[in-house]
Structure 1
């Protein structure tokens, strides 16, 4: 990351990855792109173009990481690798001008795809020319390009492997011995199968096209096949492979920067960033520079208090389609949902009943004619480049909750992952660390990426100072720590709670929901009393299946009565929707749920009453858990827990001056409970919304009562919850296509970033095409739309924006207060 100075020593990080948002009142002093009323107009572009591939460094500065997304020719002595599209093979030329330039696309730290050409083919992943190993008989790869063949077969079948007979086991070491086979015998078997893998030009990314780059002295590198370990080698007449045990001058290549490479396909940022980068601190933004009470080092930006970037692996791993990253690129991460949802999406049950019932187009890359969209609940909406675009708009803190529901996983017929809660959470934590490494690889090496998992507020502040986005890992699981209960008998003990909590802590988890959706060994849950698609009755059935008993209701105490601004209350069972009917029609459910929807309705304990509160509060184990969380300085989430239990948590933590969190709106219970969370120094955030509703929510949350030491100047700070990929809709937008010109392009609040419509593949995403916030990268657009299209007064709009852009600082102060309470 590059550094810059501004009062304190600051760092503004990575060319492509910073701050801030859409159109704002009063830009920075070096920009006249926004008016002082908060109304954006088409700006003069800042001088720096969209972050892309930087000029490759001089050869002496190259490392195995710094070549990421650069264009290089490969030289061996006085010879250069040259691609021959006619033969689909690679040879050599002595003329540098005729050498092939390779685009080095990282798949992981120090590992690359070498792209010599790319041609987009509408409706397909595109035609690539990659240096790799062919798989003519389809024996070695699955449909996603991952290696599944037997390694010894592949090595034996490489007909152009040089000198392999001289060193038969060095390429694979003990693996060949473990297989108990020899290469000669395997070669005969492969001959019978007519499989002839060879070093060649391959047309799609796969493990067979991944090369590990290794320093080989004197500014040279060796390239080893990620699958076989064999080294790329200059032979007598062509490019070939050899054993790593025979490394010599022919296996060493110099990388020379060149021009003219085709870029590897990727989602675009469609953002132009000024030379001084997006703002990091409030003092750098005109609208905040003269506000009394603001400190010089108060962070400028907002927090998403509740997201599920890792939910592509939850409840079995095949409910949501798409990945936040994929080592083979966006055209693999977001390609075609039929692999999970079947032809025309007909097996995607959630999609069928929550968005557009009936068939839908499954094709993603490059057309995206149907998905993603704000209410398409089974398609991934938080691809890493979309997150990066929001980061450029001021997203400084992202709280990602590892999420799971064991019962829903068990009744889900489409799954590939373990349903055990701890196993599911550990898998998602591993994926988030892999995502961090992947973004590091795109950014020039370990620690260089903008996506940084943090474990304490001081670390978060340093990441933000360096221009990055602080990512906090939390857990939202119905059977937290595998601590369910059945007929009131807990399924864990104190020793197991401590051991599992320590495991989560070691995985960098710092936030936890004690309860979610179902009653468990820690306490009762907050029932879903809403109507709509009727998910409440399904959850009642799930609670019965999980615990052996129905939810038990009682009249809410006066202090816990809802004032009408939280979840809607009803005095009868919410009506069954299509999703319930579908579930009851499935044989694998029919023998566990009551046989019909009516039978389940007959079991509703609230029928004909006004009993609305779960009778269950915290259990003894629940009290023990809260105290263990406080010992570790972990953030305690009070959403989804019964009102009685939430009040008990506030009493326990309040006695220690220990703040807690209501991270996504009405799931925190009543407005009185949310006010108490804020008054005790905690954070209360609402779902991201649109226009007038969002203005109102930001002002309400920012003005909740709280102690003066937690306020940021005159502002309380109000973030938002996206709940992205949590089987929850993102915000829609009432705008129409004729409003596009009133928004695009728009300038960030700090005046340093200019955004245009986001493009992924062939699709330009606009708020006004009927999809709303179709993916995470449109939050900058949504903020800008709120600022120019809300019917609220300019004073209210400015107040809402100020609350939003002080929310990251407010969250950090809350977290710091947690640490102070522990000490």
Structure 2
């Protein structure tokens, strides 16, 4: 039942729900054999090394006992899940041959040896003018208002809280208050003789101080800035010298920044922004707060700690943390720090699971997957507007939502963060099934694809946790497997059809199943789903599965084929993660039949049989980030799958904000630790990040929040040893590789230097490329360039005797072709 339907306070409802779910957890532990009572003595959610590091960083006797042995009975660093090359399968020998791997390694080494694009830098933030020239120029500035210094804190575009030098808020008639509220938000209007301010209260009032209603403003000093998360990165962000050249920057292909609205909007604590800033955005859930951290049932189930300090801002004693999956990890200033440290593409996936939302007792949002997608889309545009407000006006913020690769390249070369929107839900487009009967049609899929494309969505998966009318699912293994399988039954009327299989490579199978719950708190890479399910999914008699290995007999349906074809027609990137092996194999058959390169595996939920096919299609792979040690191993394995016909770069999928545990620290005594400050991409200097009173150290805290991904990247460099520079170089080329895959999804052919069969005679190339053409027109005419350095595209052609000729396409300052010549 939605909260709005109950005639009780929101806080009371959360507390009642928390008590109910706590009882459910206890009851489940008593009813299920081998439950939590058998968990004592096992490794906790943090490694022993991490426990020691945390204890050294903040020695508290009471906490030390909890960290030493939390009775959680799982290890988030388990290499069989978090750090595996495939999160959906066991790991055994590589299916590729030594010769293939050696050739791939040689190709990647040659790619690294190519010249880097010339880079410049851009201003890191907004500089207030001495005399503001529009209503947005006041943002975070100190201006003299009626003779006193006032700090203008943006709450929205052109709207401000006005803080006096004592940090009090200026209200109607100049009265001073201490707590923000809508009646204290002032909309600015500029006139010839100064600014006027009208509040956002229920009854509009104009700001009057004394008899003054119009205020000439001039930059001054003496203000007390509003408290905010710090960046601790010095130096301006890097940018391209032109808008059309090759880019440099890291790419996160899988993150859930809007997850505060999913599962009914009451599971996630905190949010990535609040109009009143960090003190209001980074707060715990009411059921956590009012019980002193004991009422966080889901948090305890996933982290293994029976309680946590519910205080977020400003102390952040226990959260955010790598295994704190109910707390906000992508606050906008943390995203800003990752951008300042070198990230240039962020893929934000709208996420939902309708059945788990329905069974969880607390909610304020609808559980329908597509309703949640629409809501999350609205929220991310609101976030973009909010960041624009902090940066001085529309379009000025670093956070830019993009809808095609050509726009994304311009954004990255402008030194900003290109944000790609995607979807990861269990029932996309309402395409569930009921006892094998699809509940959607091809026409409905087409209509809703047009709708989400209009929202800006460019990347999507077909399944997440449940079989649906499009595809079978890989399933979940271990303790949560039966729970999610039970939810699958409630949603579809069928269990996963897991059958014995013996894959040729020994590892490309779906999740192996059990029919009992040996341990309700056993580790899982998607622990939140297990935690919610164990609270509310009823015990259902499961089928007796045969001996492992298991493969879901449900593959890709005809509606699924139609959906992939529809994605290709719209130039949308298809992510085959979470599909059953059978479904993914058929999906890649479809991709190969279509000749469609727009494939991205974003977070290690594909299998090793698929990765070489994705690379061969011209696609892009970004493994789950996880621990730095595990990621280095994944990178080394993926090098052996690289295809020499395509530019190579590497990415990661953070899967942060409720769906995936983040990288654990290596510990205070780890060899080759990260030493602060270190140099980030583009020459910036990265120091230890400060959030309120908390100072983070990647060596001791791991990836506690999104702002520590620059530190994680530096940790990769240290872990990889002699290969560290090569690894970071591949990551820095990741944004370019992602964009080139996306360009090919728009019908642009691969480059003719890496693909000799695509070379055309010199005269034909010269005839196809005319003066005044745009870079996109050039690519449509002759394919992707081999190199894009500054104002020049380089490609290969055929001479009169069949020899390879290098040609250069020159662009002028307007990014229009000025000439074509042989090198």
Same fold (TM over 0.5): yes
Q: Distance in 1 between matches of 2:528 and 2:370?
A: 29
With 577-586 and 412-421 compared, the bigger mean Cα shift is at 577-586
Residue 213 and residue 737 in structure 1: after superposition, are their counterparts in 2 closer, same or farther (change >3 A)? farther
Q: Paired residue for 1:208, among 171, 177, 183?
A: 183
Alignment partner of 1:414 is 2:388 = no
- Give unmatched runs, 5+ long, in structure 1: 1-47, 75-79, 81-98, 119-127, 134-159, 161-198, 240-249, 285-294, 595-599
Instruction: Tell whether 2:219 aligns with 1:257.
Output: yes
- Which of these residues, 183, 186, 198, is aligned with residue 224 of structure 1? 198
Deviation by residue 1:663-698 (Cα, 9 ceiling, x = unmatched): 344411x21111211111111221114444322222
More deviation in 348-357 or 381-390? 348-357
- Kept in 1: contact 2:161–2:185 (CA 8 A): yes
Given the alignment of the two structures, is residue 328 of structure 1 paired with residue 276 of structure 2, yes or no? yes
Structure 2: segments with no counterpart, 5+ residues: 1-120, 750-779, 781-823
Which of 428, 443, 454 is matched with 2:391 structurally?
Answer: 443
Cα separation, 2, equivalents of 1:617 and 1:58: 64
* 1:51 Cα deviation from its structure 2 partner: 5.2
Residue from 62, 66, 77 that aligns with 2:133: 62
Name the counterpart of 2:500: 555
- Which residue is 1:745 aligned to? 677
What are the equivalent positions in structure 2 for 1:481-630 lying under 5 Å apart? 481-529=429-477, 531=478, 534-556=479-501, 558=503, 561-562=506-507, 569=512, 575-578=518-521, 593-594=538-539, 600=540, 602-606=541-545, 608-610=546-548, 612-630=550-568
Task: Give, in whole Å, the separation in 1 of the partners of 2:503 and 2:510.
Answer: 16
CA distance in structure 1 between the aligned counterparts of 2:392 and 2:507, rounded to whole angstroms? 52
* Shift of residue 257, structure 1, vs aligned partner: 1.1
Q: Secondary structure at the match of 1:257?
A: coil
The residue number in structure 2 matching 1:462 is 410
Q: Does the CA-based 8 Å contact 1:337-1:364 persist in structure 2?
A: no
Aligned residue among 93, 103, 111 for 2:151? 103
Output one character per residue of 1:168-212: Cα deviation in whole Å (capped at 9) or x when no partner: xxxxxxxxxxxxxxxxxxxxxxxxxxxxxxx62110222121100
Q: 1:778 aligns with which of 693, 708, 720?
A: 708
CA distance in 2, matches of 1:444, 1:661: 37
Equivalent residues of 2:169, 2:178 under 8 A apart: yes
The alpha-carbon deviation at position 807 of structure 1 amounts to 0.6
Report the equivalent of 2:347. Answer: 399
Change (3 A) 1:58 1:221: same
Question: Greater shift after overlay, 364-373 or 331-340?
Answer: 331-340
Residue of structure 2 in register with 1:806 after alignment: 733
Change (3 A) 1:695 1:256: same
Deviation of the 1:396 alpha carbon: 0.6
Would you say the 8 A contact 1:660–1:677 is kept in 2?
no
1:456–1:414 Cα change, 3 Å: same
Q: CA deviation at 1:618?
A: 1.4
Of stretches 423-432 and 573-582 in structure 1, the one that deviates more from structure 2 is: 573-582
Instruction: Name 1:721's counterpart in structure 2.
Output: 653
Measure, in 2, the Cα distance between the counterparts of 1:300 and 1:587.
41
Q: Report the equivalent of 1:766.
A: 697
Partner of 1:309: helix, strand, or coil? Answer: coil
> What corresponds to 2:624 in structure 1?
687
Aligned pairs for 1:132-531 (under 5 A) are 132=171, 200-218=175-193, 220-228=194-202, 230-234=204-208, 238=210, 250-273=212-235, 277-281=236-240, 297-338=245-286, 342-529=290-477, 531=478
- From the superposition, tell whether residues 316 and 443 of structure 1 become closer, same or farther in structure 2 (CA, over 3 Å): same
| SS at 1:222 equivalent | strand
- CA–CA distance in 2 between the matches of 1:550 and 1:567? 14
Check conservation: 2:123, 2:237, Cα contact below 8 A: no
Distance in 2 of aligned mates of 1:584 and 1:380: 19
Alpha-carbon distance in 1 for matches of 2:516, 2:534: 24
The alignment partner of 1:655 has SS state of helix
Query: Do residues 644 (structure 1) and 582 (structure 2) align?
Result: yes
3-state secondary structure, aligned to 1:212: strand
Residues 746 and 634 (structure 1), Cα distance of their counterparts in 2 relative to 1, 3 Å cut: same
Distance 1:665 1:53, change over 3 A: closer
Kept in 2, the 8 Å contact 1:310–1:431? The answer is: yes
What secondary structure sits across from 1:72 in the alignment?
strand
Aligned to 1:635: 573
- Secondary structure of the residue aligned to 2:272 is coil
* SS state at 2:176 partner: strand
> 2: distance between equivalents of 1:464 and 1:53?
18
Secondary structure of the residue aligned to 2:168 is strand
1:673 paired residue number: 610
Distance (Å, rounded) in 2 between the aligned partners of 1:406 and 1:587: 12
Is it true that 1:114 corresponds to 2:162 in the alignment?
yes
Where 1:717 maps in the other structure, the secondary structure is coil
Report if aligned partners of 1:691, 1:787 keep a CA contact under 8 Å in 2: no
Moved more, 482-491 or 657-666: 657-666
Question: In the superposition, relative to structure 1, how do residues 453 and 760 fare at CA in structure 2: closer, same or farther (>3 Å)?
Answer: same
Structure 1 residues 207 and 582 mapped into 2: Cα distance closer, same or farther (>3 Å)? closer
For 1:588 and 1:393, locate their aligned partners in 2 and report how far apart those are by CA, in whole Å: 39
Say which SS state the counterpart of residue 799 (structure 1) adopts: helix
| Residues 399 and 416 in structure 2, CA contact (< 8 A), matched pair in contact too | yes
- 1:626, distance to aligned residue in structure 2 (A): 1.3
Work out whether residues 685 and 701 of structure 1, in 8 Å CA contact, stay in contact via their aligned partners in 2.
Answer: no
Q: Give the deviation of 1:217 after TM superposition.
A: 2.4
CA distance, structure 2, for counterparts of residue 132 and residue 631 of structure 1: 54
Superposed displacement of residue 699, structure 1: 3.1
- 1:688 and 1:583 map into 2 onto residues whose CA distance is 19
In 2, Cα distance between equivalents of 1:504 and 1:587: 29
Which residue does 2:664 correspond to in 1?
732
State the SS of the aligned residue for 2:707. helix
Aligned to 2:169: 130
Report the TM-score when normalising by structure 2.
Answer: 0.72
Shift of 1:337: 3.2
CA contact (8 A) 2:289 2:311 kept: no
Query: Shift in Å at residue 572 of structure 1?
Result: 6.3
State the 1:499 CA deviation.
Answer: 1.6
What secondary structure, in the 3-state scheme, does the structure 2 residue paired with 1:721 have? coil
- Which consecutive aligned stretches of 4+ in structure 1 deviate over 4 angstroms post-superposition? 48-53, 339-342, 566-574, 579-590, 737-742
State the partner residue of 1:42. none
1:570-626 deviations in whole A, cap 9, x for unaligned? 676563414899999999976x623xxxxx4x51331x4235111111112111111
Deviation at 1:52, TM superposition (A): 6.4
**CA displacement at 1:50 relative to structure 2:** 11
The answer as to whether partners of 2:196 and 2:206 remain within 8 angstroms in 1 is yes
CA–CA distance in structure 2, aligned partners of residues 436 and 216 of structure 1? 27
- Tell which deviates more after alignment, 103-112 or 659-668: 659-668
Deviation at 1:234, TM superposition (A): 4.0
SS of 2:746's equivalent in the other structure is helix
Deviations 1:44-94 (A, max 9, x none): xxxx9995663x3132x52100110100112xxxxx2xxxxxxxxxxxxxx
Native 8 Å contact 1:681 1:707 kept in 2 = no
TM-score (norm 1): 0.72
* Contact 1:524–1:641 (8 Å) recurs in 2: yes
1:196 counterpart residue number: none
